[in-house]
Structure 1
Amino acid sequence: MFNFSKDNVENTTDRLAKKSDEAIEEIAAQVKSTANDLLDAVNDTADNTQDKAKELIHSLKANIDRLTSEENAAALASKASRVKDQVQREVSETYQSLKGKTVDTVHEHPMGTVLVAAGVGLLIGYLLGSKRRE
């Protein structure tokens, strides 16, 4: 019924080890692919944020140029308040946009997000653990 010969056990062990190695390689490839997808999404978000920041800086410089050319202190205070409101709105919109994109990325790739987070955690744990041993 059961064949426990040395050759049979070795063959079964070798076959299981090979399947295990293949599964690990497949999971590693999937994690790498998902990590690359997430990295691309983060890079895209960073590029968009940089563009918005440049636009905001340009807008602020233009507003500062206009404000400093006026002599009326009351008008200056009023315009400063509007600039402050505009900056708050734009920063809030940018934050909401980035938050939404991040949430979308996590929703689109939940398993990848978990795997990347776990991988980063393991890496940090390994690095911290190796420092303690030294």
Structure 2
Amino acid sequence: MFNFSKDNVEQTTDRLAKQSDHAIEEIASQVKSTANDLLEAVQDTTENTQDKAKELIRTLKSNIDRLTSEDAASIASKISAGAGRVKDQVQQEFNETYHTLKDRTADTVQEHPLGTVLVAAGVGLLVGYLLGAKRRDL
């Protein structure tokens, strides 16, 4: 009923190993692509935020020059409001980037559950080996 010959078992093992390697390579490629996309998004967000912050600083300097006749409390309030807007915008952009990466990672895991488990197991074995090697060295 079942063919458990050595050749059959070796062929099956080789086939499964190749499929696992392919799945791992595909997931690694997708993770790398997602990481590159995230890096680009973070860089774009950083550049946009820097540009907006520079513009806000110019505006604030202009307002400070114009408002020097006003009392310090009024100026501080306006500066605080401007800084709050920048903080909210930066936080919103980073939240959007985080959710995008989270969704892409979830999609990759759902599309390739076996490969994801194999990659996670491989990482776990590697970390365990490295930690074990450190302890042996001590």
Would you call these one fold, judging by a TM-score over 0.5? yes
In 2: Cα distance, 1:69 partner to 1:128 partner: 62
In 1: Cα distance, 2:99 partner to 2:76 partner: 34
In 1: Cα distance, 2:15 partner to 2:73 partner: 72
Instruction: Determine whether 1:25 maps to 2:28.
Output: no
Kept in 2, the 8 Å contact 1:34–1:112? The answer is yes
In 2: Cα distance, 1:57 partner to 1:132 partner: 48
Corresponding residue number in structure 1 for 2:136? 133
Residues 108, 15 of structure 1: CA spacing in aligned structure 2 closer, same or farther, 3 A cutoff? same
The one of 68, 79, 82 aligned to 1:71? 68
Question: How high is the TM-score relative to the length of structure 2?
Answer: 0.69
Q: Identify the range of structure 1 (80-89 vs 27-36) with the bigger mean alpha-carbon deviation.
A: 80-89
In 2: Cα distance, 1:62 partner to 1:33 partner: 43
Deviation (angstroms), 1:109? 3.4
Corresponding residue number in structure 2 for 1:96? 92
Query: Aligned with 1:20: secondary structure?
Result: helix
Q: Give matches, 1:1-134, under 5 Å.
A: 9-66=5-62, 67=64, 70-72=67-69, 74=71, 76-110=72-106, 112=108, 115=116, 118=120, 122=124, 124-134=127-137
Gap runs ≥5 in structure 1: none
Kept in 1, the 8 Å contact 2:30–2:108? The answer is yes
Kept in 2, the 8 Å contact 1:38–1:105? The answer is yes
Residues 85, 46 of structure 1: CA spacing in aligned structure 2 closer, same or farther, 3 A cutoff? same
Query: Aligned with 2:68: secondary structure?
Result: coil
Identity of aligned residues (%): 19
Deviation (angstroms), 1:15? 0.7
Q: Identify the range of structure 1 (119-128 vs 51-60) with the bigger mean alpha-carbon deviation.
A: 119-128
When the two structures are aligned, how many residues end up with a matched partner?
A: 129
Residues 80, 60 of structure 1: CA spacing in aligned structure 2 closer, same or farther, 3 A cutoff? farther
Question: How high is the TM-score relative to the length of structure 1?
Answer: 0.71
- For the aligned residue pairs, the C-alpha RMSD in angstroms reads 3.3
Deviation (angstroms), 1:69? 6.7
Gap runs ≥5 in structure 2: none
